[in-house]
Amino acid sequence: MNNFKLVVIFIILNIGCSIKAQNISQWRGPNRDGIFENEQLLKTWPDKGPDLLWFNDNVGDGYGSPSVNSGVLFINGGIDSISYLFAFDLKGKLLWKSPNGKEFVGNGYGSQFPGSRSTPTVYDDLVYTCSGLGRIACFEKQTGKEKWAVDMDKDLNGFMNYFGYSESVLVDKDNVYCIPGGGLNFAIALNRFTGQKVWTSKAFNDTIAYCSPMLVNLPAKKLMVTFTCHYILGFDAGNGDLLWTQKQENVKYKQQCNTPVYSNGYLYYVAGDGNGAVKLNISEDGKSIKELWSNPLIKNNFSGFVKINDYLYSTDQSQKLKCIDINTGQTIDSISINKGAIISANGLLYCYSQNGEVNLIKPHESNMAIISKFKIDKGTKEHFAHPVISNGILFIRHGRTLLAYNIKG
């Protein structure tokens, strides 16, 4: 028994060390689910909004959110059709900027939305990012020196969608996962230190969407889950085998942008086109799925959603924030609010609406309610970027401007 206890303690300590060693910052928070915890934050804001600590009008065109790691903020932006990765300290001082090839400028209607789309992924001492034209590059976190780069379009025979590549690349242990599209390398894993192929999958023939993939950790295997325009897909992250798909019905705009969320054995997603809000059960071996419910009335193209306890929260095209019961899929509460990107911290909701309002919201207990709000009055073009919270600071990207608000409690 004593030896058994020692083995158990050894395993726990090693798991703890492994988790601690994986210093990762990425799209929509540590787990890609829009949840930012362990912060002492204000529970209400002054009428004029929280104090603006600093802003920078020179982060370039784009819609990609920042990521914050070890006191450094990283963000992508396009300047004069070149993609740049910027590094700032948390007082707004530029530490370095590094080019990452050409940036998306678009054609026709797409030219109205130039600039970066993705959020940098910081893993230990390296930063991984993708331009709107699909150039994935790895940079040293301290210096901005480029270590390697792979062009999904040119090097991997990818197929770029109308509004460019928008995925924030997924990094786990030794691999970088991405979805170039096309028939040859539809999905691919690269060695994160060299950029060399680990595996490639021809698994599917559909146009890529604008979704950033996520990982599902099961006892039997690890899954990479993402969207194409018409399907949600589950891959074996170890070898690229396609394990399952679910078709999205009545797709019109082909904007499947929201990263799914995995929690307590279930996978949740909210599709802009297709099936709306859905709850799936993934089999223990990861090889199959079963739909438990769907709510086709929840339509959300690219604003994300969050799960808090037994509820999903999502804005939708009816200009409301809706609360969905995860046991039934039914909408049980709603408030009128302009649709926009939603995250959560310490049990409260933060919605950066497309009309420029930032809302602090009490989630469903008895009734949802807006606690405080203020208006973003700096920046350019659309209010599309997802907000980020780190070190008691709320970071908002509005086009070429990055703003930092003090929300520390």
**pLDDT averaged per 10 residues, the chain (length 409):** 40 38 86 92 97 98 97 98 98 98 96 97 98 98 98 94 95 97 93 98 87 96 96 97 95 90 96 93 97 95 96 95 97 96 97 98 91 98 97 97 97
Query: Within a domain: residue 2?
Result: no
Query: Within a domain: residue 247?
Result: yes
Is 213 within 8 Å of 226 (Cβ atoms)? Answer: yes
Q: pTM of the entire structure? A: 0.93
Query: Within a domain: residue 215?
Result: yes
Query: Within a domain: residue 12?
Result: no
Radius of gyration of the chain (CA): 20
Q: What local confidence, expressed as pLDDT, does residue 31 receive? A: 96
Q: What local confidence, expressed as pLDDT, does residue 37 receive? A: 87
Q: What local confidence, expressed as pLDDT, does residue 10 receive? A: 36
Query: Within a domain: residue 131?
Result: yes
Residues facing residue 294 across a β-bridge: 278
Query: Within a domain: residue 5?
Result: no
Q: What local confidence, expressed as pLDDT, does residue 255 receive? A: 85
Query: Within a domain: residue 401?
Result: yes
The boundaries of the domain holding residue 203 are 25-406
Q: Give CA–CA dist 305/312, Å, rounded.
A: 7
Whichever domain contains 137, its CATH number is: 2.130.10.10
**CA diameter of the chain:** 71
Closest by CA to 237, choosing from 214, 259, 209, 212, is: 214
User: What does each C-alpha distance from 227 to 76, 131, 137, 257, 352 come to in angstroms?
Assistant: 23, 19, 22, 8, 24
- CA angle at residue 186 from 181 to 188, to 5 degrees? 115
Q: What local confidence, expressed as pLDDT, does residue 59 receive? A: 98
**Domain tally, the chain:** 1
Q: Give CA–CA dist 17/154, Å, rounded.
A: 39
Query: Within a domain: residue 39?
Result: yes
Q: Token digits for 303? A: 């604003």
Q: Give CA–CA dist 235/355, Å, rounded.
A: 37
Q: What local confidence, expressed as pLDDT, does residue 22 receive? A: 56
